[in-house]
Structure 1
């Protein structure tokens, strides 16, 4: 029986396949433009729920217009099949790069984080949460640029409560089944950033229960990261969503302040060059190499971590019990999924060439798609194959693709269909603001009431404004900040600004109150003995 293909495209070769379908490299016959086509498998196409999710992914991609998010050319649904036609790019996954390199220097790690955060920021502005950020879903192109892919289990902000994502990168609230939040994407992006810097995941439990407890309760392992970027790790991996940057755009602002202060105004250019050099070590993994497609069947797993000297407290053991039940449910869900797989099949892509006009030379070899399952932990994970393209995307999960025309002959279009691909506009990188360089940070704390204290913060800074993170502590020993009491962030106006005061109500019973302030890679701390305690 002949396999159905999208009319108007000539298939070149298969880039990958999995339980949800396959991704192929194809050429649009009218323009010669190479594209990635993701086909939903025949088995899943017979399930209306899968078809709705596949269609929803196409609508989402159609509403996102950003150089950091893959562009949608068209969605075609006919009696014989369903397919998403996407922009194609030459690139490899961050997972493949880390497998080869082990880890990266801070500058390329910051470049990867910034590029994919800009893709997340576009989705967040549109009210969409990715829910499955991880190295497999970040693409590094040949020029060292980085992009976010795979919106297969994305959801509207505040909707879809339930456990969804990949265990090693799931935020505490995801483990707890709370609704989708941009702060959860920030957490997953920070976990990936930590892995780039250290070569390991921030938490490595040997089962779902242990991993859940570590994400919910274990201290953030910031000391393993280079000192200048530790404020980003502390903020991004904070246990409570309200203690993290509220969305990806806010996190980008903090990232740029830290990067410029620690590594100078040229950090991004150097980091991109280093990334390009690392990617060049894996030429056969680029779609343009024309190699045989790799298998894409995979199973979500967690690695066994060495003992870190941390043990869960009472809340942790309770969470462990809950998580054991959760883990059992997830295993059953995955077993069920093996009967009707919903694994994510990813096509990674970047910028597509402009289709040639009449009389123009045919395009040269063009970017590719690297396909591979993006296993998720969600029992309702949708089949996801996304490609990547790029920066700010204003999208909505309910918006129809913007291209309109008559459907292909014989096709029943349930989403808008456009037979001739028009490459998405590539938005140039915005001109950077003048660099913000923090020279020093100082803080003093004083007691203002029985349980209240006040910190006075001064930042010596060139340029501005600059984000400042304030952390409060209570303890029983001088020289040790003790237990964390909370975190807040404010924006210091910039050069020449007056000191800023922040107040806090302490709930701990320790005799010492402390505060630590971080800005632009610099930090300072102070501690006082409270009036309710006396020296003996």
Structure 2
């Protein structure tokens, strides 16, 4: 930092990234020799009490998330001359760096990345926290092919209304409209990143914020660009309405595992991790342990607008202008007059969180209690440190709900596939409610046992009732046995190809009655085209 302040008890080795909002350094805990990452808030940001509160909130949030799939938190230190978060050092590179080098990944590797970071999101969702900024920059890939989720800088409590914020290429439709923070928005962003791993490009490529907003809200899901086997995950995760997506990251992991085992076999995860490790191995000089030059910044290109902003369909021109101006303000502020290179955003980025945190009071600094690394090799537990030099840093107040500072054992990352429990579908039914150009299929099923059930919905058009002669698309839904017995799936039929809409439903595992179907005349038949 400009005033030279450093967290007492640590020796700085080198800088890992820097920007207008702060910097991240590789440091060593003097009492134990443990390598850590220290994120410093910039002097300019410390002059704003709101930024300091938000920085504390990010620290408190990280301290409450104990998961091998989330960057570990050691301590928060605040003094008259500085503020810093001491974190686990992840010896890896960002998924963005991997994609920049390789272009795309094979499906099994993409599934491994998605599963690992979804498990990190699941830990946050269990704690009532929505990340709101899942993207390739915020997923770190270690040398063994494991992955971790980082940067909770703009996280928010579930159901809160912190306003429009995020990275536009990965923002869910409801996120653009400032609706309450929900885990389904994280599921959407994770799926957009998964799509990018598979195809080498983002799902939507609007030239400005207004175009991107319209595409995310209205454009069809570009599932056909991805390998056919994984399209059901993309359809589900990028669904326009939140209720059509898995309700949280844990539910999405269950769907992912069922699909991956069915499509690629029980050893998909082992192969995918090896492939991902091979891609990371192409970038050895970019790992923190390599001792290379610092790259990137700690600034994140996010857009944050007041919580009351919720444009209607007619207001996208003004919306685009507001978003562009918001981005200009953020980027100009972070750059302090120097344009930022969006491709150089740091793996250790941070922005403004919306989760309230405690106000520290004066007290002694605590050393970190390092947890096992993602590869399962534990780092040493620090012994009691020597007296901290002045200025005396501050820590969480006594009696607060801050995390414990004693060592917390963390399970190692396990990549063994989860077996699919045996189950039976004892009964299957469907009824079709037609409209002019669409139909709503109400699917009912009864199950025994536990595990995921894959529902395959085939749509047809025909010239007579019961004639399933013209295929018109297929949807795949994955539900847990014991979940609500009725699922509604909607479909827009192709115009001019028949007056009767039909639906046929099967399941995996197969239902006792094999399949169910229904056919009904479309409303348009009476007014818009003669029967055929």
Q: TM-score, normalised by structure 2?
A: 0.76
1:476 is displaced (CA, Å) by 7.6
1:268 is displaced (CA, Å) by 0.6
**Structure 1 gaps, min length 5:** 303-316, 344-369, 392-402, 495-499
Q: Where do residues 84-95 of structure 1 align in structure 2 (5 Å cutoff)?
A: 84-95=85-96
**Which whole-Å deviations, capped at 9, do the CAs of 1:391-437 have from their partners, x for residues lacking one?**
9xxxxxxxxxxx9x99875335253599x986652313467543469
Call closer, same or farther: CA 1:300–1:502 in 2, change over 3 Å.
Answer: closer
Q: SS in structure 2 opposite 1:84?
A: strand
Q: Where do residues 444-463 of structure 1 align in structure 2 (5 Å cutoff)?
A: 445=430, 455=443
1:89 is displaced (CA, Å) by 1.7
Call closer, same or farther: CA 1:154–1:453 in 2, change over 3 Å.
Answer: closer
**Partner in structure 1 of residue 217 of structure 2:** 216
1:9 is displaced (CA, Å) by 0.5
**Which whole-Å deviations, capped at 9, do the CAs of 1:75-108 have from their partners, x for residues lacking one?**
0000010010111121000001011111111100
Q: SS in structure 1 opposite 2:231?
A: helix
Q: TM-score, normalised by structure 1?
A: 0.75
**Partner in structure 2 of residue 29 of structure 1:** 30
Call closer, same or farther: CA 1:487–1:142 in 2, change over 3 Å.
Answer: closer
Q: Where do residues 117-266 of structure 1 align in structure 2 (5 Å cutoff)?
A: 117-266=118-267
Considering Cα pairs closer than 8 Å and 6+ residues apart, tell me whether 1 or 2 has the greater RCO.
1
1:535 is displaced (CA, Å) by 4.2
1:336 is displaced (CA, Å) by 2.8
Call closer, same or farther: CA 1:503–1:250 in 2, change over 3 Å.
Answer: closer
**Partner in structure 1 of residue 501 of structure 2:** 513
Call closer, same or farther: CA 1:371–1:242 in 2, change over 3 Å.
Answer: same
Asked if 1 retains the 8 angstrom alpha-carbon contact of 2:267 and 2:417, the reply is: no
**Which whole-Å deviations, capped at 9, do the CAs of 1:374-395 have from their partners, x for residues lacking one?**
587x89899xxxx99999xxxx
Q: Tell me the distance in 2 between the aligned counterparts of 1:520 and 1:130.
A: 33
Q: SS in structure 2 opposite 1:213?
A: helix
Q: Tell me the distance in 1 between the aligned counterparts of 2:171 and 2:387.
A: 42
Q: Tell me the distance in 2 between the aligned counterparts of 1:214 and 1:173.
A: 13
Q: Tell me the distance in 2 between the aligned counterparts of 1:458 and 1:422.
A: 48
Of 295, 315, 323 in structure 2, the residue corresponding to residue 330 of structure 1 is 323
1:226 is displaced (CA, Å) by 1.1
**1:413 matches 2:394:** yes
**Structure 2 gaps, min length 5:** 304-310, 337-344, 357-369, 375-383
Asked if 1 retains the 8 angstrom alpha-carbon contact of 2:420 and 2:451, the reply is: no
**Partner in structure 1 of residue 419 of structure 2:** 434
**Partner in structure 2 of residue 367 of structure 1:** none
1:446 is displaced (CA, Å) by 5.4
Call closer, same or farther: CA 1:124–1:210 in 2, change over 3 Å.
Answer: same
Q: Tell me the distance in 1 between the aligned counterparts of 2:434 and 2:324.
A: 52
Q: Where do residues 276-287 of structure 1 align in structure 2 (5 Å cutoff)?
A: 276-287=277-288
Q: Tell me the distance in 2 between the aligned counterparts of 1:176 and 1:120.
A: 22
Q: Tell me the distance in 2 between the aligned counterparts of 1:381 and 1:452.
A: 39
